């Protein structure tokens, strides 16, 4: 309270979270969905056709009143109301032409889509759901399958180390020193195990695999060698023998823990069982999506046993689980689903999820997502809870239904109203009331 505080501005005005929210809502309100092209195409030819019908009906009542009265009289037997036929052909011509122009409603077709999108974008924003544009809203309404990333999406993203093997202080210090420079939640959990400062050189992070680096030969061992901390699949591919710790791996994987190994060249030095709790309500979200007729999938870089354990807790079919998947392979998995005719939504939060968010028909990023993930996503959930996923998809489907209803009534109204006006069954006053209604 009484010290010197040094502050650095990292975002101003247009870069704040509030500014991004405002820009997102405005972009959605002003965007055009693909379905809007139907109304636009019809509107483009609708106006000249209506003007033509108005001119022709005026000429018909003005120059061939006998024929017009005859058609009017024949049609009158099918309607519950009758109108007063005009004795003056000129008056009849002007009144029927005006009635056609007044009852025609091209704006109903033009507004069918944007009005629904604007209302939907506002309703979504009030619920903490930011929709990038009308195209995203339309795509969301057509989704058939939802693919979830695991860490930070279905789980809380705050893992803790539950157990170590064999648990020696030296290996723990080495692992913590390697993990300290990574921002991955699992790395951060391991980094908390030790605060000992150990100099690391040639540090490198391989997305979806792990971390490697060299330690000073005088501080740790006679010669500097590469140490790797990461997934068991990566260590196995690097030649590390894991059979010595099979019991530990089997026990903790079965409990849904992520197993991270520390290896030096071909030797396994230590293992860490990292557990992350499943988000409260995640299983309910999966059930809601399945009740909506959507297929649910889990894709993760974790091992098969852990991934299946998490899926079983959530109610995701085990055949829909894809484990030990690298970040770049997530987009390939989505591509495979799309090749089978699925319209895929991908839900993720990390920088490694950006390719999958882009490849998916619909990308959904949760609130703590990285900037790259947010830019790649079509929908951003401002709350970290994924309960908004079924809500956002349901809102999109409701919007599509409203758009289709709007278009139907616009077409139906004009198809019925214009012929009635042209044949003298709708006075200009009644036409004005009908069009406004």
Which residues are annotated as catalytic?
149
> CA 211 to CA 263: how far, in whole Å?
11
Q: Which positions ≥6 away from 118 have C-beta within 8 Å?
A: 29
427 token code pair: 């006075």
Burial 343-381 (b: 16+ CB within 10 A, else e): bbbbbbbbbbbbbbbbbbbbbbbbbebbebbbebbbbbb
313 token code pair: 């807790």
Strand-pair category, 210-215 with 145-149:
unpaired
> CA 402 to CA 119: how far, in whole Å?
11
């Amino acid at each position: 309270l009484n010290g010197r505080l040094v502050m650095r501005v990292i975002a101003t005005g247009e870069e704040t979270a509030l500014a991004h929210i405002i820009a997102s809502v405005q972009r959605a309100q002003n965007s055009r969905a693909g379905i809007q092209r139907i109304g636009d195409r019809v509107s483009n030819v609708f106006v000249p056709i209506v003007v033509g019908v108005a001119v022709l009906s005026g000429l018909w009542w003005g120059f061939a009143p006998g024929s017009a009265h005859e058609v009017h009289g024949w049609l009158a037997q099918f309607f519950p109301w009758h109108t007063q036929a005009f004795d003056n052909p000129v008056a009849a011509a002007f009144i029927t032409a005006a009635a056609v122009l007044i009852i025609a409603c091209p704006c109903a077709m033009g507004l069918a889509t944007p009005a629904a999108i604007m209302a939907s974008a506002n309703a979504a924003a009030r619920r903490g759901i930011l929709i990038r544009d009308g195209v995203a809203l339309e795509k969301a309404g057509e989704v058939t399958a939802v693919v979830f990333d695991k860490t930070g999406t279905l789980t809380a993203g705050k893992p803790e180390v539950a157990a170590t093997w064999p648990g020696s202080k030296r290996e723990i210090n080495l692992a913590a020193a390697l993990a300290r420079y990574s921002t991955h939640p699992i790395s951060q959990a391991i980094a908390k195990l030790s605060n000992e400062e150990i100099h690391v050189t040639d540090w490198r992070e391989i997305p979806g695999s792990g971390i490697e680096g060299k330690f000073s030969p005088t501080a740790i061992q006679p010669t500097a060698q590469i140490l790797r901390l990461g997934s068991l699949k990566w260590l196995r591919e690097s030649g590390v023998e894991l059979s010595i710790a099979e019991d530990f791996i089997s026990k903790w994987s079965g409990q849904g823990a992520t197993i991270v190994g520390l290896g030096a060249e071909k030797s396994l030095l230590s293992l860490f069982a990292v557990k992350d709790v499943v988000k409260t309500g995640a299983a309910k979200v999966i059930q809601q999506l399945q009740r909506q007729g959507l297929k649910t999938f889990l894709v993760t870089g974790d091992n098969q046993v852990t991934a299946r354990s998490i899926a079983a807790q959530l109610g995701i079919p085990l055949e829909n689980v894809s484990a030990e998947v690298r970040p770049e392979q997530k987009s390939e998995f989505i591509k495979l689903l799309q090749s089978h005719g699925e319209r895929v939504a991908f839900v993720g939060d990390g920088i490694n999820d950006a390719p999958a968010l882009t490849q998916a028909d619909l990308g959904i990023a949760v609130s703590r997502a990285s900037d790259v993930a947010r830019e790649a996503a079509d929908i951003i959930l401002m709350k970290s809870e994924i309960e908004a996923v079924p809500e956002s998809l349901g809102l999109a489907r409701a919007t599509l239904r409203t758009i289709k209803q709007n278009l139907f009534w616009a077409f139906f109204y004009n198809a019925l109203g214009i012929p009635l006006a042209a044949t003298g069954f709708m006075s200009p006053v009644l036409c004005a009331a009908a069009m406004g209604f």
